[in-house]
Homo-oligomer: A and B are copies of this chain.
Amino acid sequence: MADLIIQTYQEILQTNGEIELIDLTNKVMNYLAESKITDGTVHISCPGSTSAVITTEFEPGVVKDTKDLLNKLIPKGIGYEHDKIDNNAHSHLRASFLGANQTIPIKENRLLLGTWQQIVFVELDVRPRTRTVIFQFMGIIK
């Protein structure tokens, strides 16, 4: 069998605060090409507890619907306990429900995603942030 390759890439994002969706798919594809891994996984994450990484169709309608749903299900500033020490309780709660990271399988140096499925970073904090997104590839070159 081939040797294991682990490659960790980082990318800085300047975000605009809540709620912003940023398509990461092309960045992941470029790093995948650079890594030359044919079989394995890529794990996409962002240190912090007020952002999320999801997969969805990155289309203006779905983006708007996602924002509206988060505002409806987990509203801002409705007497949260955490808001007594900060003003982003809803950001933390939304992040927990959406999930902080994603793992995507790789085969033949391609991401096994659907045509209408993108890897999307979600800024949930109340103010613009400088975010470091981590792309970690684990796999082999066949």
Interface residues of A (CB under 8 A from B): 1-6, 8, 39-41, 43, 45, 47-49, 54-57, 59-62, 64-66, 68-69, 73-74, 80-85, 89, 92-93, 95-105, 107, 112-114, 116-118, 134, 136, 138-140
CA–CA, A129 to B65, complex, Å? 23
Indicate whether A4 sits within 8 Å of B136 (C-beta atoms), given known contacts A49-B55, A103-B103: no
Interface of A is mostly: mixed
Query: Does the CB pair B107–A92 fall under 8 Å?
Result: no
Q: How many protomers of this protein does the assembly include?
A: 3
Q: Apart from A4-B140, A6-B40, A62-B92, what 9 extra A-B contacts exist at CB < 8 Å?
A: A1-B4, A43-B105, A48-B114, A49-B118, A54-B100, A61-B85, A62-B81, A96-B98, A97-B97
Residue in B closest to A92 when the chains form the complex, CB atoms: B62
CA–CA, A104 to B64, complex, Å? 29
